[in-house]
Amino acid sequence: MSINVLLVDDHVLMLMGLKELLEKEADLHVVATLSDPSALEETIGRRNPDVIVLDVRMKTKNGIELAKIVRQEFPDLKIVILSGYNYDEYIDAARQAGTDAYVTKEKSNTELITAIRQVCQGRRIFPYQHREQAGEALTAKEREILRQIAADKTNAEISEELSISKRTVEYHIASIMRKLDADSRVGAVVNGIKKGLLNV
């Protein structure tokens, strides 16, 4: 039995790319693509898809608001939010809007496909957030970065010193903060000292 998918994204090229990608899978069938979300409800009623994939930001509509409306009218429909943002706030908002999955766009294509399949089995898929990781051990790189933070270095300085991109630095710091159960760099350093990760 194939899964019927409806794609909604106001970026036509993206829409085409996604369609091509999903059509390669035997068990997925794209019933329609929509670049204008104003006709969404009507299309859902007509095409009766199992899953809709919604872009979080469209020119005229807000994907999360749209998801809320769809959730109210079609409670059994699975909603996957496809987003360019990897911020906790967006993920939380999507979760609260009653969507079933949140996938960031730059993640590998297989992730979206897996998400669609799993959602149809009744699971909810969201990128890991804070709490789940607290207490895990830091990697060597992360310990190095924590030392740099304690030495009062800025992100730019750290990125230069370790010759990694600023994005990676930021990613590592976020990870450090999660693992040390802190919500700021200052807190991370304090907790790091408590745990003996830093020599004072």
Partner 1 sequence: MKKKMIPILFVFIFVIVNLYCLGRVLTDRSLLRFLSKVSSIDYYYSLLFIGLMFVGTGLVCFLKRPDSIVIRSFFYLMYTSGFAIALSNASGLDVLPGKEIEVITASLAPYFLIRFFEFFPSSSKPLFFQYIRRVTLLLAAIINIVFFCTYPYHLSRSPELLQFIRIALIANVCISLIACICLTYLHLKMNSSKVKNQLYILIASLVLSFLPVLFLSLIPAILHLANIPFFFSLLSIILFPATLAYLLTMQEIIDIKMSMRPLLFEILALLLSLVSVNVLFFLFYPLTPELFYRLNGFMLVILAIYHLIQKIVEPLVKREWTSKEHDIQREKKIILQQILNGQHLASCGRLIVNLIHQTVDINGACLIWKKNQAPKIIYQTGIFADGRLADACMQHLNHKKNEHRSEALNCHIFPLDNEQGNKGWIIIGQKINETHLDRNERLLLEKIQSDAAELLTSTETLSGLGRELRETQNRSLSQEQFNHALLIDREEEKRKLSIYLHDEVLQNVILMANKVEALHDEQIIGDKAYLEMKEIFMNGIYDIREMSRELHPFMVEDLGLEQSLQALKRKLQNNYNVVIQTAYDLSLKVISKKLAIQVYRMIKELLYNAIKHSSSPFVSVSLKSLDHSLIINVKDKGKGFKIPASLSNLTEENHLGLITVQKRVDQLGGRFDITSEEGKGTSITITLPLERSDELEYQRTAGR
Query: Where along the sequence are the contacts to partner 1 (CB under 8 A)?
Result: 10-11, 13-14, 17, 21, 56-57, 59, 62, 64, 84-85, 87-90, 92-93, 105-106, 108-109, 149, 152, 154-155, 165-167, 170, 173-174, 177, 183-187, 189
Of 43 and 148, CB closest to partner 1: 148
CB of 135 to partner 1, least distance (A): 19
Specify the long-range contacts of residues 112-116, CB closer than 8 Å, at least 24 apart.
112/18, 112/21, 112/22, 112/53, 112/80, 112/82, 113/21, 113/22, 113/25, 113/28, 115/80, 116/3, 116/5, 116/22, 116/28, 116/51, 116/53, 116/80
Task: Tell me how far CA of residue 156 lies from CA of 2, 135, 148, 152, 182, in angstroms.
Answer: 49, 27, 11, 12, 21
- Which phi and psi (to 5°) does residue 53 adopt? -110, 115
CB of 111 to partner 1, least distance (A): 11
CB of 1 to partner 1, least distance (A): 25
Alpha helices in 12-137, H assignment, sequence order: 12-23, 40-47, 63-73, 88-96, 109-120
Of 42 and 65, CB closest to partner 1: 65
Of 42 and 88, CB closest to partner 1: 88
CB of 124 to partner 1, least distance (A): 20
How large is the greatest C-alpha to C-alpha distance in the chain, in angstroms?
A: 66
Of 84 and 135, CB closest to partner 1: 84
Of 119 and 173, CB closest to partner 1: 173
CB of 134 to partner 1, least distance (A): 16
